[in-house]
Amino acid sequence: MALISAKDLTIGFSDLVLYRDLSFEINEGDYVFVIGENGTGKTTLMRTLLGLRKPLKGEVVTDGLSLSEIGYLPQQTIVQRDFPASVKEIVLSGFVGRLGMKPFYSAKQKKTAMEAMKKFGVEGLASRCYRDLSGGQQQRVLLARTLCAATKVLLMDEPVAGLDPFVTEEFYGLVEKLNGEGMTIIMISHDIAAAKKYASHILHIKNDPSFTSKDEYFASGKGNEFSIVSGKSES
């Protein structure tokens, strides 16, 4: 059985249906790009997959996957930009879901947090203040935090928004490495070129949503149509 299966999902708000009857299956080790224009409900879909909100119809079934094995990297909020916290404190907060009734983090969790920081090359920044970091560094810190929460699945919401091309490429490299180690990746992005390069599957969300493998997607007119449009808007 698939790791995450969506069955006949209807997504939207009480007075607005974004799309109907979306079904797909995500298997272990998949690298899924979620593509669609602004306002089509990509973030809403992610929140539904995470169980943060209920779909209007249909259901999300996970196979032996508990919430604490899924890491979520939300879009950055305004609050975070001037947050007075050290990198170490933020990465460690990735374990907050596993604290349960315990008030403090264990020595083992602190060690794992250090390892996560090393993995993304931010261990040197451990005692630096989050708000003094560059956008790329901040995103790597958040990725390290998410890794503390996730052991199986990583959901990311426009993680490269606002990063320069060099840092973006570096970020994709890190994610690809994680994927290579068996982590299932679901990423919202507008970056068609990256989707072409890294994705195994593409979930295209528009009036008529579809879940296909990458090759199928780009062979159909759909992907090309979108890339032309996005190419135009960038030029």
Partner 1 sequence: MEILIEYLSYPFVRYAVIVGVLIAFCSSLLGVTLVLKRMSYIGDGLSHVAFGALAVASVLKLTNNMFIILPVTILAAVLLLAFGKNAAIKGDAAIAMLSVGSLAFGYLLLNVFSASSNLAGDVCSTLFGSTSILTLSKNQVMLCAVLSIVVVIVFVLFYNKIFAVTFDETFAKSSGVRTGLYNFIIAVIIAVIIVLAMNLVGSLLISALVIFPAMASMRVFKSFKAVTISSAVFSVFCALAGILISMLTGTPVGATIVACDAVMFGVFCAVGAVRQ
- If you write DSSP's letter for every residue of 76-104 in order, what string do you get? P-HHHHT---BHHHHHHGGGGGG-TT-SS
Q: Are 34 and 188 in contact (CB under 8 A)?
A: yes
Q: Is residue 93 close enough to count as binding partner 1 by CB under 8 A?
A: yes
Q: Is residue 80 close enough to count as binding partner 1 by CB under 8 A?
A: yes
Stretch that binds partner 1, among 62-70, 160-168, 174-182, 185-193 (CB under 8 A): 62-70
The 3-state DSSP composition of the chain as helix, strand, coil percent (nearest 5) reads: 45, 25, 30
Classify the phi-psi angles of 121: left when phi > 0, otherwise alpha if psi is within -120 to 50, otherwise beta.
left
- Interacting residues with partner 1 between 144 and 173 (CB under 8 A): 145-146, 149, 155
CB count in 10 Å sphere of residue 192:
21
Q: Which of 86, 200, 227, 230 binds partner 1 (CB under 8 A)?
A: 86
Q: Is residue 65 close enough to count as binding partner 1 by CB under 8 A?
A: no
Q: Which of 128, 161, 170, 206 binds partner 1 (CB under 8 A)?
A: 128
CB count in 10 Å sphere of residue 116:
21
Q: Is residue 96 close enough to count as binding partner 1 by CB under 8 A?
A: yes
Minimum distance from residue 147 beta carbon to partner 1 (Å): 12
Q: Which helix (H) or strand (E) holds 6?
A: strand 4-13
Minimum distance from residue 34 beta carbon to partner 1 (Å): 16
Q: Is residue 125 close enough to count as binding partner 1 by CB under 8 A?
A: no
CA separation for the pair 33, 230 (Å, rounded)? 15
The residue (of 127 and 207) whose beta carbon lies closer to partner 1 is: 127
Residue 148: φ, ψ to 5°: -65, -30
Q: Is residue 79 close enough to count as binding partner 1 by CB under 8 A?
A: yes
> Among 104, 183, 105, 108, which Cα is nearest to 143's?
183
Stretch that binds partner 1, among 12-20, 73-81, 193-201, 226-234 (CB under 8 A): 73-81
Residue 138's contacts (CB-CB under 8 Å, 6 or more residues apart) are 76, 80, 130
Q: Is residue 73 close enough to count as binding partner 1 by CB under 8 A?
A: yes
Minimum distance from residue 187 beta carbon to partner 1 (Å): 15
The residue (of 77 and 233) whose beta carbon lies closer to partner 1 is: 77
Q: Where do contacts with partner 1 occur on this chain (CB under 8 A)?
A: 50, 52, 67-68, 70-74, 77, 79-80, 82-86, 88-90, 93-94, 96-99, 103-105, 127-129, 132, 145-146, 149, 155
